[in-house]
Structure formats: C-alpha cells, structure tokens
C-alpha cells in the first residue's frame, strides 16, 4: 500500500494504516532526533512527539508529497526547540566545568569498527553539517527530499553537502586516518 493510500485510510479513521506509516518512518525519525540531540531518551521523546503532531496535522498534509521529508521537518524543529529549552542548563554546566575542570574525567573510547569511527567523525562536525550528511547519506534521501525536510532550496542542499563533506574529509585526515580510504574521490 502506498503512502498516499495509508494517509487516506488514516484520515478515514483506520488506525492500522497510521501504525503502518509510523513503523515505516519511526527509526529514521528517531535517528535524526538522536543526531541533533545526542541522547537516546530525548530522541525517543521527540520521535513520539513528531508522530503525535503529524497525526494531528494530517488533514493539512498534501498526500501527493512524500511523508518522510515532512516528518523529518517536524522532528528537526522539535529537536532544535528542545535544545533551545535546555540552553540554560548547558550554560550552567559549562560554568561549573570552567570552575572545576577536573570534575569530569574524559572517558576512554571503546574500540570501534569503521562505521562507529565514521559516526564519531561526523559528530565532530557542526550541527548543520551533521544534519545534511545524515539526511543525504545515512538516510539516503535525495537532494529534493533533503531540501523539503530542511525547507531550503535543492541547490543549497548541493552546496551544503559539498562543504560538509569537505569538512568531514579534513576531520578524517586529522583525527581518523584509518578511514582515509573511505574518502577517496
């Protein structure tokens, strides 16, 4: 059954259709929220809230468009709002750490495979670069879908992706030399 059919059936009160649509996108929405927030519990909360908000707004959704970019847009906005709402907490924590820098000793990173190393390298990028890399390569979204999800022009997706990959290459060169062959052009 197509997304459009699932949406139409949901609008008619078919809960099973909504559950199917949710299952199709739940993991990807969670991953995006996790990418932005860095915390699995918060990401799970955001993913749930995303589907609640999408369900409530389903009558305004254009079923001729793909649901994934729409859901990603909702999730990204909710996650960014969550980050803003905890800003004061983070500022207080930073003040605490500046006052007592030895309060938290750095943890030793466990040995990881290439995919985990690549994820660590991506996490070194700024939030906007992480988001574009995640959407384009981890979620395998097209430029058009990514543009819809981020509410930007497709050409902007292309340029941001190019710049983000350049910065990722620099991180890999400097901090993750074992991944260099992954970035051969």
User: Where along the chain do its domains lie?
Assistant: 1-102, 111-179
Residue 160 has pLDDT above 70, yes or no: yes
Q: What is the pLDDT of residues 167-179, one digit of tens each?
A: 988 998 898 888 7
Name the one residue in this structure whose structure tokens are 């985990």: 116
Structural class in CATH, domain 1-102? mainly alpha
| Confidence category of residue 122, pLDDT binned at 50, 70, 90 | confident
**What is the rounded distance in angstroms from the CA atom of residue 183 to the CA atom of residue 8?**
43
CATH 1.10.3720.10 fits 111-179, yes or no: no
Residue 3, both tokens: 């997304």
Same fold: 1-102 with 111-179: no
């Amino acid at each position: 059954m197509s997304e459009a059919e699932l949406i139409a059936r949901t609008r008619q009160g078919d809960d099973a259709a909504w559950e199917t649509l949710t299952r199709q996108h739940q993991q990807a929405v969670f991953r995006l929220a996790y990418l932005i927030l860095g915390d699995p519990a918060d990401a799970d909360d955001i993913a749930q809230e995303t589907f609640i908000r999408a369900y409530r707004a389903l009558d305004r959704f254009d079923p001729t468009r793909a649901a994934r970019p729409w859901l990603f847009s909702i999730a990204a906005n909710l996650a960014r709002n969550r980050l803003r709402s905890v800003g004061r907490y983070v500022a207080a924590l930073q003040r605490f750490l500046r006052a007592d820098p030895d309060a938290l000793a750095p943890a030793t990173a466990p040995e990881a495979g290439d995919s985990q190393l690549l994820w660590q390298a991506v996490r070194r990028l700024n939030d906007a670069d992480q988001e574009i890399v995640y959407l384009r390569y981890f979620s395998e979204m097209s430029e058009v879908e990514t543009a819809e999800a981020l509410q930007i022009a497709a050409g902007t997706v292309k340029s941001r992706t190019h710049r983000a990959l350049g910065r990722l290459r620099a991180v890999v060169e400097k901090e993750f030399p074992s991944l260099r062959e992954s970035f051969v052009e």
